[in-house]
A and B are shown apart, each in its own frame.
Chain A
């Protein structure tokens, strides 16, 4: 009984904090069902220059699906961007899978001269923010004549160092004994990689994939810098285009944008937890 009470005391602030953290999500969720005039009423002081202070009710006064319908039925632009985003994100994920997994395996499992230097370079590159890399990337892409194409966004992300680094840690965690056993059984390098490395490093791969997807789904700077043609823009650039007059549509768009990421997260949640747990166990 006393234990329960203590637990309750511990939970209360946690629930409170969770509620605070969840509030923006609630904010977005209720906004979807508000009418345009209601949104203007609430957000006017912030966005439209009206007097007073912005406030936000927990439930809309006049719930409606108008914004959602409008977005879905009358905005082909939204879908263009949605599919663009999906295309970019999936391509990046695929690329990272194709190029990052072997790279991480190689770095984790092979000894070669200068390996430490390469690792150091990877870490340094990972630490560098996009703003630092933007110009060199731009120059390179320009030289390759890749500017204003999706490749300009996809290719740099494909060869990003972050997923390699995460996977490297996972591959490092595979016991050498298992690999040796496989070799003894006559497995070659490829077989060891495919049959032992990937299944055992799946948690890391999925983790990096989820993180990579979330990053690429939300990335703004790269498309903004490298894409000029509006028809190539991802969904992340749709929201900045929306003002107070289309606030309802903005909320609807934000809601729809959240759905794939949420679904993906939920799908990969198990692997993510496993990966984190594995990483923790290892040490």
Chain B
């Protein structure tokens, strides 16, 4: 190869390289962004807030009048200024007068109604008192009558006995000494037989009484159960544990007693048992479950027990007695008295128990005690007492309810039975109650028939003995003796009948008393009428006042009418007739600002207000308040009090406000601030660096913290950016971290 050619090739190569050098540099420069930089400066950040709002009155007054009045004339229009006392509108006085007349008449009517209802109430009270007294009288009368008859029958019985005895004695005396020993023996035998008969008779009567009481009891229990089912058991739920326990204790005591009582019919022994149990009472653990169990098991026997107690009480007071009387025989008076004392103790104790149980019990329980004191109480009253306990709550109710009570009562916290029971359910309930009693009833009936059989057996024994006696005796005396025995038998039967009748009378009349004592439903119609009357009086007063003003309604203060709700010729409604701004209270400017703006404006900051047309300006007005909107979060209300006679109410006004911050060492134009993908602010700083091309400039990303910013500048936290940093504020191309840049001169 020729050297010359090689040199040419070499030269060409280098020329080419030179060419490309220039070209590549030119191309490179095209990609470099030309930027403008600025150094951070000391600046204050000034915040300007501009917002528009309205002029409002400080206070708005509502002008109202009575409703249903015809407006005859309106003398003002919206936006009109009125002075104090200016006539606003007028209403029709003829209509007003008519209304006043109507009102007066209505009031008269109401007055009469008040009187009527008052007198009605009095009459009702009197009637109630009368019926109560009547029932009490009837009760007292019938029991006394029965007592008298009983006493009389007894007297006759005693007389018959005495006659027979005398006759026997005369017979024995006539028989001479031979049969003397035998005669004495005979008379003793007969006396023993007689005594046995008498005892059996008494037992029979007592059994009869018990049966009757039980029957009444069943009826009562059925009624109570129905009542409870109807009324629900809300009362039961309100009962406290203590009360419940107390009632359970009482039940327990009563049960124990009745248990012993049924085994030994003597009251004295009952009393002992009760006392003993009453002593042991505090030891009874108030466990709801146990109590429930006990109540379940023993309930059916509780009621008769209490009945017995009350009967004892009645005895003590001295009213006609059927129970103790038969138990102890009338002649043993002192024994009876001592028994009575014991009984009183028992009764008072049991009463305590009942009281505990019936704390929530109001009328009937109280009535019961009251009646006891007045001496009206008897077996029947015992029943009413039971009714009461049954009527009231938990423990007692369970007594009345028997098995059904177990569902409702045992636990005070059980869910209330709020549903109305259906007739089928009621029938079912009644059936249950009756069934629960059936055994007891049968027992009582059996007892009655047993007692009757025993009595008849005793009678037969006596009769047989007497027949034998008669066979021994003289035929002359036989007729006489037979007559006497027949008399005695008649007297005995009469006595029995009287005793049963007395028992029945007591039961029936005590029931009447209980019914009479049921209190009336509360009646407050008279008071309600009075209240209506008072209301009418007030209305009338208003009408009269309006009439006095001749139907003219005037402004109460200086103001500006802002709204009129009435129309001439139409009737007024309940709403406000017209609204007026109270000019005496001044005006204010209100505007809404954003949360951002709210940061810079505070109370007493001076603001500038400019009217919509820009003609009127007010400067340095202090801000009265800045408050957040209650419903709209992020919106704040600014209020500025403005002097009188400046802007009109309702005018649109612009508010300007500016606040300067402290001086920040590092502030940059807002254009220098960028946000990265994480929304963190950063600036780009132009910095020089060494490259193959020599010293070049590129952008470097610097994350910053913005302390404060307004529309044009941002203050940055110190430390990250030095005061010498060239912050890129403008670029002709999109640049990012690391982009090569060229700082324009």
For residue A231, CB closer than 8 A to chain B, the reply is yes
Residue B693 interfacial (CB < 8 Å): yes
In the assembled complex, the Cα of A230 lies from the Cα of B692 at a distance in Å of 5
B6 touching A266 by the CB < 8 A rule? yes
* Residue of B17, B27, B690, B692 most packed against chain A (CB within 10 A): B692
Give A72 to B695 CA distance when docked, in angstroms.
21
A251 within 8 A of partner (CB): no
Q: Are B17 and A77 in contact (CB under 8 A)?
A: no
Give A250-283 interface residues, CB cut-off 8 Å to B: 256, 259-260, 263-264, 266-267, 270
Kindly list chain A residues whose C-beta atoms are within 8 Å of the C-beta of B691. Answer: 77, 230-231
Number of interface residues of B (CB under 8 A): 22
Smallest Cβ distance from A255 to chain B, in angstroms? 12
| B28, CB-defined interface residue at 8 Å | yes
Interface residue A193 (Cβ < 8 Å from any Cβ of B): no
Chain B residues closer than 8 Å to A131, beta-carbon distance: none
Other-chain contact of A267, B10, B20, B694 (Cβ < 8 Å): B10
Chain B residues 1 to 42 lying within 8 A of chain A, measured CB to CB, are 1, 3, 6-7, 9-10, 13-14, 17, 20-21, 23-25, 27-28
A79 at the binding interface (Cβ < 8 Å): yes
Q: Can you name the residue of chain A whose Cβ is closest to the Cβ of B16?
A: A72
- Segment 173-209 of A: residues with Cβ below 8 Å from B: none
* Residues on the A chain within 8 Å of B25, using CB: 76, 79
Measured between beta carbons, the chain B residues less than 8 angstroms from A73 are 20, 23-24, 27
Would you call B3 and A267 a contact (CB within 8 A)? yes
Q: Closest approach, in angstroms, between the C-beta of A32 and any C-beta of chain B?
A: 15
Write the chain A residue with the least CB distance to B692. Answer: A77
> Do A80 and B6 touch across chains, with their CB atoms under 8 A apart?
no
CB distance from B98 to the nearest CB of A (A): 105
Q: Is the CB of B9 within 8 A of A82?
A: no
* Secondary structure type dominating chain B contacts: helix
CA distance A230 to B21 in the complex (A): 17
- C-alpha spacing A62/B185, complex, angstroms: 159
Flag if A267 contacts B7 (CB, 8 Å): yes
Bound complex: CA of A80 vs CA of B20, how far in Å? Answer: 11
Q: Contact between A259 and B693 (Cβ–Cβ < 8 Å)?
A: no
A75 within 8 A of B: yes
State A238–B690 Cα separation when bound (angstroms).
15
- Contact check, A263 vs B6: say whether CB atoms are below 8 A apart: yes
B692 surroundings in chain A (CB, below 8 A): 77, 80-81, 230-231, 233, 238
Residue of B nearest to A69 (CB): B20
The winner among B17, B23, B25 for most chain A CB atoms within 10 A is B17
Given known A-B contacts A263-B10, A266-B1, A267-B7, A77 and B23 have beta carbons under 8 A apart: no
Which residues from 216 to 235 on chain A have a C-beta closer than 8 Å to any C-beta of chain B? 229-231, 233
Interface string of B687-727 (1 = CB under 8 A from A): 00011111100000000000000000000000000000000
Contact at A229–B9, with CB atoms within 8 Å?
A: no
Interfacial chain A residues near B23, Cβ < 8 Å? 72-73
Cβ-defined contact, A260 with B20, below 8 A: no
Residues of chain B contacted by A76 (CB below 8 angstroms): 21, 24-25, 27-28, 693
Tell me, in angstroms, the Cα distance from A75 to B690 when the chains sit together.
Answer: 16
CB distance from B30 to the nearest CB of A (A): 11
| Given known A260-B13, A267-B7, contact A231–B20 (CB-CB < 8 A) | no
Q: Which of A74, A83, A233 contacts B27 (CB 8 A)?
A: A74
CA distance A184 to B690 in the complex (A): 61
Q: In the bound complex, what is the Cα–Cα distance between A259 and B9 (angstroms)?
A: 10
A267 to B510, CA, bound (A): 155
- Cα distance A233–B21 in the bound complex, in angstroms: 16
Residues of B with C-beta under 8 A to A266: 1, 6
B21 pairs with A83, CB closer than 8 A? yes
Q: Within the assembled complex, what's the spacing in Å between the Cα atoms of A260 and B17?
A: 11
What separation, in Å, do the CA atoms of A259 and B25 have in the docked complex? 22
Residue interface mask B276-316, A partner, CB < 8 A = 1: 00000000000000000000000000000000000000000
A-B contact pairs, 27 of them (CB 8 A): A72-B24, A73-B23, A74-B24, A74-B27, A75-B24, A76-B21, A76-B24, A76-B28, A77-B692, A78-B24, A79-B17, A79-B21, A79-B24, A80-B692, A80-B693, A80-B694, A81-B692, A82-B17, A82-B21, A86-B14, A230-B691, A230-B692, A259-B13, A260-B13, A263-B9, A264-B10, A270-B3
The chain A residues found within 8 Å of chain B, CB to CB, are 72-83, 86, 229-231, 233, 238, 256, 259-260, 263-264, 266-267, 270
Extra 11 A-B pairs, beta carbons < 8 Å, given A73-B23, A76-B27, A260-B14: A73-B20, A73-B27, A76-B28, A77-B693, A79-B21, A82-B17, A229-B690, A231-B690, A238-B692, A259-B13, A270-B3
For the complex of A and B, 4 pairs with smallest distance between CB atoms: A79-B21, A77-B692, A231-B694, A72-B20
